[in-house]
Amino acid sequence: MVDNQQTQAGTARPPLLPGNADSTAAPPTAASKASPETISQIIHTLADRADPLIRITTQLLERLLHAQEAKARFSLRMSLIACGVVLVIVVVAGILTFTGKIGGSTFTFLLGLTVGYILTFIRDSIQPPKSQ
């Protein structure tokens, strides 16, 4: 006779449920099903443990929301700093062009470069590039 933990080929098999003589036995009858008292006890046990789970879930979601808000604030600050730097560069280049230190074509090139940078920066802020 073969142990109920080992098959004839020697591979492990999950243990049989108590009261079942064979794993291929018929499903339990109505008489062997759990009583309403047992189900009630299970429900009460789960209800007693629901409060800590709700608190943990609430804390995790609050931290996630806080992290997303911090990320949005950081992104806004970086956008303002980048726009400020670009504005300073354009103003300084405009002053240098007005005084005749650099040519108009150089200013035009710089202006086109900064406009392209700003448009790319805005595009990446609205729709971040996909990681590969």
Q: pLDDT tens across 103-119, in order?
A: 989 999 988 988 888 88
How would DSSP label each residue in 50-88? HHHHHHHHHHHHHHHHHHHHHHHHHHHHHHHHHHHHHHH
pLDDT the model gives residue 1: 46
Six-digit token string for 121:
């920066």
The domain locations on the chain are: 37-126
The dihedral through the CA atoms of 39, 41, 44, 48 has a sign that is: negative
Residue 12 has pLDDT above 80, yes or no: no
Residues with Cβ within 8 Å of 104's Cβ and at least 6 positions away in sequence, in order, are 97
Can you tell me whether residue 131 is helix, strand or coil? Answer: coil
Lowest mean pLDDT among 4-8, 40-44, 72-76, 89-93: 4-8
How would DSSP label each residue in 16-28? PPTT-SSTTPPPP
pLDDT, tens digit, for every residue of 34-56? 677 788 888 888 788 888 888 89
Q: What is the pTM of this model?
A: 0.49
